[in-house]
Chain A
Amino acid sequence: MLNIKHLRKIFNPGTPNETMAIYDLNLHLKPGDFVTLIGGNGAGKSTLLNCIAGVYPPSAGVITINDNDVTFKPEHKRANYLGRVFQDPMLGTAGNMSIAENLAMAARRGKSRGLGWGISKEEFDQYKEYVSRLDLGLENRMSVKVRLLSGGQRQALTLLMATLQRPDLLLLDEHTAALDPRTADKVLYVTRRLVKENNLTTMMITHNMRQAIEFGNRLIMMNHGRIVLDIEGEDKKGLEVNDLLKRFAAASGEEFDSDRALLSM
């Protein structure tokens, strides 16, 4: 499905600000994999997802999605394969457009856009039905501008938008980190449901170790631009937070240093 070979990303090469965000990363995802990605601040998790999404080109390496080499494909072309939700609730939606218009734009991901009407009546009714299943009471506010919604509502909407056209790969970058715990739970619940219903291949970055263990069939831990742990299947099922910390220390030769992650256990 997703195949990453010898990925490297250097920011500001040749300057005093040079940062090696990803050193030499190899990763293969099978269809239907749900990977949780965890690691300290600056480990390179967001950079990895952004390289997959084509936000910036890699400094070295090859990325293929479904056997298509996308390494140098621009962001908007890779969008055919990808659904994305960002950490910042502002980033996933267009605030000055209505809920229905946002969904209509998302429904056209990977399709060519012409002079047809931006949203039809049938679409509107269908989106209303999808939105009602989010259980946030938004179905009666379909024509409301998205900027008037709360962060949690916007994230749930972004999730729905990301999966409206079934993506080959769903990328979630700490998409609940900006939300209060109850709203975060609700958005996580929606995440789980949408991933299951559509049988999506998913990568989810999180700072919460419990979440990383609880969700998905595979857990990857990153440190200084490398994958240090990759735990799958049965091995992952019995995992405890303490085991994870020990295995991280053994594999990387360091203590796990993310205050945020430890606090949010």
Chain B
Amino acid sequence: MSPEALLNIGVSAISQGIIWSIMSLGVYITYRLLNFADLTVDASFTTGGAVSAIMITQGYSPILALICALIAGMGTGFITGFLNTRMNISALLSSILAQIGLYSINLRIMGKPNLPLLRVETTFKNFSEWIGLRDPFSSLILGFTVAVAVVCILYWFFGTEIGCAIRATGDNPSMVRALGVNTKNTVLLGLILANGLVALSGGLLAQSQGFADMGMGTGAIVIGLATIIIGEVLFFKKNFMLRLFGIVFGSIVYRIIIAIVLQMKVPSQDLKLFTAIIVALALWIPNALDQNRARRARKSANKELFAGDQDTNNGGASHA
């Protein structure tokens, strides 16, 4: 393969990773901050793609299409939140219900299962012309700009009074109520924000890949989890800002892994299997590493402590 082709593949994997990372930041809000297993994601991602694609084909500006994708995604988060907080349906079930219902809605938005964006303007094409760089490079810059903006907004928001209340809700809801906050509203708000980001990511993806289809969000939740965990294992956990950037980098790493897998001529229908395996490994490895570290620490401590024992008959050190 030519170096240029390799560079192209690398850069487009990175820019894909960045676009998908916005979805993962949304998943991070529900999964880690709110402690809410939100499966709406698979559908709201598609909702974002569908809204973004249909608006462009109808001649609206690509930027407006992204804004509407964001708003539509917030609406999907509201549906799950309403089912959960106002109708008292469990988190898992309300998000599954929303996901199923949204399947029909997404199909209605698009009108057909697949919507190509061939001879129309997209944010990416416009941006590419505007800065005078060709595709994977311009997508990279645009995606990165959006991701940095989202990270900064999230960092700010979760430092505000409302943001703190949302974080605390995932931590200890009964305390939050005792401190005068309606936890139903904090859960609802978190879901709205999270799914808005997920749909924005779907809208960006549709514009960057040049089509939207009904299957584009399938498995998104799993990819989001994988990304978060890769980010936490490989990158920084120190402070909140670094955690958020860790997710963006985790998403890039994930896409590079997928690109490598594809280069190894793995048929694309097996890709979901690979994703599942990667996630299973990513969930298992941090645990295994911790246990291994503890075992080694115990061994060396035992060695040191038992070394002083003079008793040679049953040799304490050999039990170490």
Contacts and interface: CB of A to CB of B under 8 A. Distances in A.
Contacts, number: 80
A110 interface: yes
B172 A95 contact: yes
Contacts of B178: 53, 75, 79, 82, 84, 92
A116 B161 contact: yes
Nearest to B32: A96
Contacts of A95: 171-172
Interface in B164-214: 164-165, 167-168, 171-172, 174-183
Nearest to A107: B179
A118 interface: yes
A85 to B, nearest CB: 9
Contact of B180 (A101, A109, A119): A109
Contacts of B174: 55, 91
Contacts of A55: 174
Contacts of B180: 76-77, 79-80, 108-111
Nearest to A88: B174
B171 A117 contact: no
Given A101-B164, A105-B164, A108-B161, A113 B181 contact: yes
A80 B162 CA distance: 17
A180 to B, nearest CB: 23
Interface in A61-105: 74-77, 79-80, 82, 84, 90-97, 101, 104-105
B175 A92 contact: yes
Contacts of B164: 97, 101, 104-105, 118-119
B179 A109 contact: yes
A114 interface: yes
Q: Is the interface of B mostly helix, strand, loop or mixed?
A: helix
A96 B174 CA distance: 15
Contact of A117 (B159, B172, B176, B182): B159
Contacts of A104: 164
Contacts of A265: none
B160 interface: yes
Contacts of A94: 167-168, 171-172, 175-176
A119 B180 CA distance: 17
A76 B177 contact: yes
Interface string B148-159: 000000000101
A263 interface: no
Interface in B89-143: none
B111 to A, nearest CB: 39
B14 to A, nearest CB: 31
A67 B164 CA distance: 32
Given A104-B164, A108-B161, A118-B163, A91 B181 contact: no
A109 B103 CA distance: 41
Nearest to B160: A115
Contact of A76 (B161, B162, B182): B182
A93 B171 CA distance: 9
Contact of A75 (B157, B171, B177): B177
A82 B179 CA distance: 9
B175 A91 contact: yes
Interface in B245-294: none
Contact of A97 (B157, B161, B167, B181): B167
Nearest to B161: A113
A169 interface: no
The 6 A-B pairs of least Cβ separation, nearest first, read A79-B180, A113-B161, A118-B164, A94-B171, A94-B168, A109-B180
Interface of B: 157, 159-165, 167-168, 171-172, 174-183
